[in-house]
Amino acid sequence: MIIVFTFTDALEANKFEYLFKKYKGLLYFKAFEILHDQMAAEDALSETMIRVYRNIKKINDPDSPESASFLTTIVRNVSLTLLKKQKSAPELLAMEADDEPYDEQAYSFDLEATVIDTITEEKLCLALDKLDEESRNIIMLKYAHDLSHREIAELLNLTENNVTVRLHRTRKKLTDMAVKEELFA
């Protein structure tokens, strides 16, 4: 498939090209770290750049840490979605081949996970802006910077347990906001 990007002005085109050249290595590394497959990582990088193209107006300074966080969040979400698809495809084929009975527990519905998976990056950024600074920082450290609970606890002078609780509460807040404000994709 060939995708043609059209920009409203040369500044957007230059910004997109600069972002690609600057971050393609980091984004590929992040995707490969999650997917452990070269082709899948390249697919994730391509899908990430499509999403960057769609959201190019949100990136003011391509060199800022916020831009790096934004791009790594996108590639992480794309990679996790691809990984989920990879893992579910063999299971579905095995189910058809074996004709095993339906396991309700294996396919239970998780509203929080569903909401978080279906929220668009744009709407997620809007929802994050509505959070208090502490909650936003914890979510960004966890998901944009891929820090462990221990690392977050050390940075914020909290206990690991406190970080876990705050992450859970913040994810719950985001889920509630998404359901209430219909932030689904």
Residue span of the structural domain in which 29 resides: 1-104
The answer to whether 12 and 23 have CB atoms below 8 angstroms apart is: no
Is 55 in the same domain as 14? yes
Q: How many domains does the chain have?
A: 2
Q: List, for residues 120-152, the tens digit of each pLDDT value.
A: 566 677 777 888 888 888 888 887 777 889 988
pLDDT at 108: 47
pLDDT at 106: 44
pLDDT at 182: 57
Q: Which residues contact 65 (CB under 8 A, 6 or more apart)?
A: none
Is 113 in the same domain as 59? no
Is 137 in the same domain as 62? no
CATH number of the domain that residue 172 is part of? 1.10.10.10
- Is 112 exposed, middle or buried (CB count within 10 Å of its CB: 0-12, 13-18, 19+)? middle
Q: List, for residues 49-80, the tens digit of each pLDDT value.
A: 988 888 888 888 998 888 888 888 899 999 99
Q: List, for residues 77-120, the tens digit of each pLDDT value.
A: 999 989 888 887 655 545 544 444 444 444 444 555 555 555 55
pLDDT at 18: 92
Cα-based torsion angle of the residue sequence 33, 38, 44, 50 in order, rounded to the nearest 10 degrees? 130
Residue 27 scores a pLDDT above 60: yes
- Is 120 exposed, middle or buried (CB count within 10 Å of its CB: 0-12, 13-18, 19+)? middle
Mean pLDDT is lowest, of 25-29, 40-44, 99-103, 155-159, for 99-103
Pairwise pLDDT comparison (118 vs 7), residue with the higher score: 7
Pairwise pLDDT comparison (158 vs 117), residue with the higher score: 158
Is 74 in the same domain as 91? yes
Is 97 in the same domain as 184? no
- Backbone phi and psi for residue 108, each to the nearest 5 degrees, phi listed first: -65, 150
Amino acid, res. 178: A
Residue 185 scores a pLDDT above 50: no
Residue 162 scores a pLDDT above 90: yes
CATH number of the domain that residue 77 is part of? 1.10.1740
Residue 26 scores a pLDDT above 50: yes
What secondary structure, in 3-state letters, does the chain show?
Answer: CCCCCCCCCHHHHHHHHHHHHHHHHHHHHHHHHHHCCHHHHHHHHHHHHHHHHHCHHHCCCCCCHHHHHHHHHHHHHHHHHHHHHHHHHHHHHHHHHHCCCCCCCCCCCCHHHHHHHHECHHHHHHHHHHCCHHHHHHHHHHHHCCCCHHHHHHHHCCCHHHHHHHHHHHHHHHHHHHHHCCCEC
